[in-house]
Amino acid sequence: MSDEAPDERPHEPLPTATAPATPGTEPGDRDLEQWIAHQRWYTAKGGTPRLRTIARTDGTRLVVDDAPTGAVLYQAPVTGGADAFRDATTDLEWVRALAARIDADPESLRPIGTVTSARVLSGEQSNTSVICDTESGGQVIVKVFRVLHHGDNPDVTTQLALSAAGSTRVPRVSGALRSSWPDPGRPDGTATGHLAFAQEFLPGLEDAWRVALRDARQGTPFTDGADQLGAALAEVHSTLAQALPTEPADDVRRDTAIATMHARLDAAAAEAPSVAEHVDAVRAVYDRAAAATWPDLQRIHGDLHLGQVLAAPGARGWVFLDFEGEPLRPLTERSLPDVTLRDVAGMLRSFDYVAGALAQDAEPVDARAWADAARAAFLDGYQRGTGADLLAHRALLDAFELDKAVYEVVYEARNRPDWIGIPLAAVTRLVGQGAV
């Protein structure tokens, strides 16, 4: 994780899983509780798990934790017994079997093949990624989803669609593993979702956040990189619009989006009084967006910032990662078509955070002019790539960026009070003079 805008893993409970299976425990559930409580991906930090196994499949246990914050369904592949549980993602034979199951799935695009060695990627919190070397000499990264939900995971379906369309703007997808489990809360008593996802591993690449931060600190212009990043995002959006369904932004969807913005503003004003003086001006921006013409809705990234993009060498250029959407939104919402300008606004906020982060350094750097130039170049590249007139959607773009900044104020108030000035300055700017 970087010190970038708070997009990656806010310290909030994740959405709850679907209704659990019939109450009861299996032998070993009580022992597993002690192990699972100390895993990084366990969401009810500091709590005492109360587990119920609802399914077993090929060495994997699906367990419901009746946490005070709501029932959560976990995928917990383990080896060993009560005295020495071991995470099966560290076991080569288990990883080999998982790769074989992914290869056998009808949706798989290209085989992983035989895994010769594997290692767990450190630092992740909500999922577990395993880097696999294969017999063919290639490398894939297999993401094991820890918290399970009914329905398609947008990280899987979006990247599958892009990869199947031949896009080089995402790592090449090998395939995914889908499974079903008991769920008496559903009409047919069964839930279905993704357990794992495999794609090309791109070692040694820097993310755009680190590239931008270094350039800004050194005073190196990022205009060319930002322009190319805007064009690359336009390419991703164009491919997704062709590969997956689009739909008009009807009154219901527009009203729902604007209502969500107002609700977030209410919560922010209550928690961060520094926002309160801007409430009326913010609402005016939202009202202008509500009255504006909205483009068609389509699948988007949903949680885009500089840390979600890799700088690949040569002609490939920028590569986008992690299409799961905002972690706090329910899975069903994250899979819905949305406004592409939400992604554009997220990247604009990310450039702003580069300047804000450098202003917090032990040796502060004034990178405001750098960020302004990068933002403008990014918009130029995106507009050229889409052929759309962003000025025609200025009111909507302002609203999405402002909504993101309001969210950031709350996050910083809770987690990094010294940084709250970064999004507060953006709120002041956006209500006064627009997004650029």
CA contacts within 13 A on the Cβ side of 91: 14
Render the burial of 367-393: b for 16+ CB within 10 Å, e for the rest. beebbebbbbbbbbbbbebbebebeeb
Query: Left if phi > 0, otherwise alpha if psi is -120 to 50, otherwise beta: which for 413?
Result: alpha
pLDDT score of 123: 77
CB atoms within 10 A of CB 326: 15
- Please give the Cα distance from 112 to 200 (Å, whole number): 9
pLDDT score of 216: 98
pLDDT score of 314: 86
- Please give the Cα distance from 136 to 95 (Å, whole number): 16
For residues 38, 42, 48, 51, the Cα torsion angle rounded to the nearest 10 degrees is -110
Q: What's the CATH superfamily of 208-433?
A: Aminoglycoside phosphotransferase (APH), C-terminal lobe (3.90.1200.10)
Q: What's the CATH superfamily of 88-200?
A: Phosphorylase Kinase; domain 1 (3.30.200.20)
Residues listed for the chain = 436
Nearest of 137, 127, 114, 126 to residue 201 by alpha carbon = 137
pLDDT score of 81: 66
pLDDT score of 20: 38
- Please give the Cα distance from 227 to 378 (Å, whole number): 4
Where do the structural domains in the chain lie, given as residue ranges?
88-200, 208-433
pLDDT score of 19: 39
**Are 36 and 78 a contacting pair, CB within 8 Å?**
no
* Each residue's pLDDT expressed in tens, for the chain with a length of 436 residues: 445 655 433 322 223 334 334 445 565 678 889 899 999 999 888 788 999 999 987 678 999 999 887 899 999 999 876 667 889 999 999 999 999 999 999 889 999 999 999 999 987 778 999 999 999 999 999 999 999 999 999 999 999 999 999 999 999 999 999 999 999 889 999 999 999 999 999 999 999 999 999 999 999 999 999 999 999 999 999 999 999 999 999 999 999 999 999 999 998 998 888 888 999 999 999 999 999 999 999 999 999 999 999 999 888 999 999 998 887 678 888 889 999 999 999 999 999 999 999 999 989 999 999 999 999 999 999 999 999 899 999 999 999 999 999 999 988 988 899 999 999 999 999 998 643 3
Render the burial of 185-199: b for 16+ CB within 10 Å, e for the rest. eeeeeebebbbbbbb
Strand arrangement of the beta sheet that strand 51-57 belongs to? 51-57, 60-67, 70-79, 86-87
pLDDT score of 12: 28
Fill in the DSSP letter of residue 380.
Answer: H
